[in-house]
Amino acid sequence: MAEVRAEMVANVWKVLVAQGDTVEDGDTLVILESMKMEIPVIAEDDGVITELKVAEGDVIQEGDLIAVID
Amino acid sequence: MFESVLVANRGEIARRIIRTVQRMGLRAIAVYSEADADLPFVREADEAIPLGPANPAQSYLDAAKVLEAARVSGAQAVHPGYGFFSENAGFARAVIDAGLTWIGPSPEAIEQMGDKINARNLMEAAGVPVAAGTREPVTDLEEAVAAAAGIGYPVMVKTAGGGGGIGMGVAHDEAGLAKAFEQASRAASRFGGTSAILLERYIERARHVEVQILGLADGTVVALGERDCSVQRRHQKVVEETPSPGITQELRERMLAAAVRAGEAVGYLGAGTVECLVDADKQDFVFLEMNTRLQVEHPVTELVTGVDLVEQQLLIAAGEKTAPSVAVRGHAIEFRVYAEDPKRFFPGPGTIDVWVEPSGEGVRVDSGYAEGNTVTPFYDPLMAKLCVFGRTRAEALERARAAVADFKVVGPKNNLPFCAELLEHPEFVGGGYDTGLVARMRA
């Protein structure tokens, strides 16, 4: 199981996956936006998205859980 | 002369404009979003009007709200700063139609230069050198591929209406072009401006050197020296200096003369910047774009000329005759203190627990924040501009090292460690650097 957490305060601009999706290492899960920069959040494991904690438009804090891949 | 100025901006530039407005005995009116209510520029203005939510579209970029703020506060002039509405001809027109003074060039000049394709064609006609590139908007990938084949790789892909490096990408081959084109298209639709895209020949080892011009009320255009902005990450400037250590006096004179011609070609009024790319080996240059506004890095020009560019903008907008000095003495360097990590340059907003600015001879700090403020993710990462002046470049570098070491920021991530690293880097210290320097430092 791998937890994907936010590296910085940001707005969630795009959510590219849904709970239950199968993803591979390197897939983009969500795209964050902070200070006029787009920051893709990448899967670092193969697996299934068992939890997806963010929605487009959310403001998230550093360390917040974005998704769990199992 | 108008008696009050609404500053339609935020952070360090709002604060810097307010300072000159007040020094001239005029009333400064700030506007601010919910996220910025505690920032110094709101407190320091003579009057401050809330605009609404943090999202720029609902505050700083909501023209109706900004114009209403001008009406209720009795503002007689509007200064747009940089970014936001500064290069928006429609907003400039709305300000003028409301019976207010627009502190900037005419809406027509903004339009002519705001479209980078049009600007390029106009400059070519005025005898200013331009890079090989597209003369019409490129609307799809197929056209882009055909155009790139004609120009020759590598090519730079950019949006005709974009600024600040947003959406810009270099392509070395057709696969890279597809990616860069997609990125530019996306940026064009997201960050406003037109969706038109242009391609230009990319110069691999180039310096980014720009000329500050002032279009005076009597119709003449003067050049106030150049700024070298070659220290960039993600095509955005981090450090700027003047004079440029990478051009000869002969090239400088040619560039300044071309910049004056560029301004004259559009009947330019007020402060503007003609950006060029310099091939340092060949000592040659091409026009890149013209920014029809005050530039972030304007303080380095102020430090070596003694001219207050904001004061000039206000006087020129009021129709006053001015005769700014064009004599340059000494050397000035600006460091943009960004809320970002110093290794990957990723955003690092946060609350400022400690904020201690350096001071001393030859040190100027234009900051937008104070201790206790929060740097939010809604706007650009610029927290402050640390500027130093010295009689020589060596003295400016020495003062910069001390000032960077004395600047204490705790809370948000910041790039001061990068600035310190740069000041010890042989390429930067030697002066022979180009726009690839930061990438090489992080390779």
Instruction: Give the nearest chain A residue to B374 (CA atoms).
Output: A9
The count of residues in chain B is 443
For residue B64, report the phi and psi dihedrals to the nearest 5 degrees: -60, -40
Q: Could you give the angle at the alpha carbon of B354 between the alpha carbons of B351 and B360, nearest 5°?
A: 130
B394 has pLDDT over 80: yes
Name the active-site residue from B293, B336, B364, B399: B293
B275 and B357 assigned to the same domain: yes
Helices and strands (H and E) in chain B: how many: 15, 20
Say what the pLDDT of residue B138 is. Answer: 92
Assigned domain for B32 exists: yes
Q: Are the Cβ atoms of B347 and A62 closer than 8 angstroms?
A: no
Distances (CA, A) of B237 to B56, B83, B176, B337: 22, 14, 23, 11
Helix (H) or strand (E) holding B95: helix B89-97
Q: How many domains does chain B contain in total? A: 3
Give the model's pLDDT for residue B336: 98
Q: Which one of B191, B234, B349 has the shortest CB-CB distance to A34?
A: B349
The contact set of B with A (CB < 8 A) is: 164, 166, 191, 234, 339-340, 346-350, 376-381
pLDDT digits (tens, 9 = 90+) for B355-385: 999 999 999 999 999 999 999 999 999 999 9
**pLDDT higher than 90, residue B186:** no
Angle at B273 between CA B431 and CA B313, to 5 degrees: 125
Judge contact between B109 and B160, C-beta under 8 A. Answer: no
CB contacts of A39 in chain B (<8 Å) are: 346-347
* CB-based contact B416:B408 (threshold 8 Å): no
Could you confirm whether B293 is annotated as catalytic?
A: yes
Residue B209 has pLDDT above 90, yes or no: yes
User: Residue B163 pLDDT more than 80?
Assistant: no
Contact A8 B339 (CB under 8 A): no
Of B166, B346, B378, nearest to A8 by CB-CB distance is B346
Q: Which CATH class is domain A2-69?
A: mainly beta
B190 shares a domain with B227: no
Q: What is the DSSP string of B281-324?
A: TTTEEEEEEEE-S--TTHHHHHHHH---HHHHHHHHHTT-----
Query: Is A11 close to B347, i.e. CB distance below 8 A?
Result: no
Last residue of a domain, one of B86, B103, B120: B103
Q: Taking the domains of chain A in order of start, what are their residue ranges?
A: 2-69
Residue B139's CATH number? 3.30.1490.20
Q: Do A35 and B377 touch (CB under 8 A)?
A: yes
Instruction: Give the domain extent around B260.
Output: 207-441
Q: What is the pLDDT of residue A8?
A: 87
Task: Please indicate, yes or no, whether residues B87 and B150 belong to a single structural domain of this protein.
Answer: no
Contact between A39 and B347 using a beta-carbon 8 Å cutoff: yes
B250 is a domain residue: yes
Q: Is residue B395 part of a domain?
A: yes
Query: B3: which DSSP letter?
Result: S
For the complex shown, is ipTM > 0.85? no
Residue B110 lies in a domain: no
In a domain, B434, yes or no: yes
User: What's the whole-number mean pLDDT along residues B147-175?
Assistant: 88
Mean pLDDT of B12-23: 98
Indicate the pTM of the whole model: 0.92
Task: Work out the pLDDT band at B216, boundaries 50, 70, 90.
Answer: very high
Task: Verify that B324 and B401 share a domain, yes or no.
Answer: yes
Residue B193 has pLDDT above 60, yes or no: no
Q: How far is the C-alpha of B11 from the C-alpha of B383, rounded, in Å? A: 8
For the stretch B247-263, pLDDT in tens is: 999 999 999 999 999 99
pLDDT at residue B263, rounded to an integer: 96
Residues B382 and B427 in one domain: yes
B225, B265: one domain: yes
